[in-house]
């Protein structure tokens, strides 16, 4: 069995939107395997919440919810496979003004 050594994935997350429709953009400078988005106890429907990111790739996810943008950003958690093994840095989350 071969071991795969993944670099820790620092995920950059931007979110914007209002009136129940939101855009969430996720990027990583390195390969990010099994990126997963969760929203705590909020009722959120997303176009995709489990995917791989190639280095430099941006994935834009559309989310719909009755929650506000602030509530969504507060509850949003984005992790990758390397987070599961404790080798990644906390994802950085910043809000977009769009």
Residue extents of the structural domains in the chain: 12-88
- Provide the whole-model pTM: 0.80
Note the pLDDT tens digit of each residue in 8-46. Answer: 888 999 999 999 999 999 999 999 999 999 999 999 999
**Cα separation, 10 vs 85, whole angstroms:** 14
Residue of 83, 95, 98, 88 lying closest to 37 (CA atoms): 83
Closest among 26, 98, 46, 39 to 74, alpha carbons compared: 39
Rounded Cα–Cα distance for residues 66 and 54 (Å):
31
Angle at 49 between CA 74 and CA 42, to 5 degrees: 35
Q: Which overall architecture, per CATH, does domain 12-88 show?
A: Sandwich (2.60)
Q: Looking at the predicted structure, is the pLDDT value of residue 97 above 50?
A: no
Strands 58-65 and 21-27, by their bridges, are antiparallel
């Amino acid at each position: 069995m071969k071991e795969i050594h993944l670099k820790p994935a620092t995920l950059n997350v931007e979110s914007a939107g209002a009136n129940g429709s939101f855009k969430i953009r996720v990027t990583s400078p390195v390969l990010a395997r099994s990126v997963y988005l969760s929203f705590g106890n909020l009722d959120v429907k997303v176009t995709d919440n489990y995917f791989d990111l190639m280095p430099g790739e941006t994935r834009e996810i559309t989310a719909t919810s009755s929650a506000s943008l602030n509530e969504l950003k507060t509850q949003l958690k984005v992790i990758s496979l390397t987070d599961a093994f404790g080798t990644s840095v906390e994802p950085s989350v910043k809000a977009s003004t769009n």
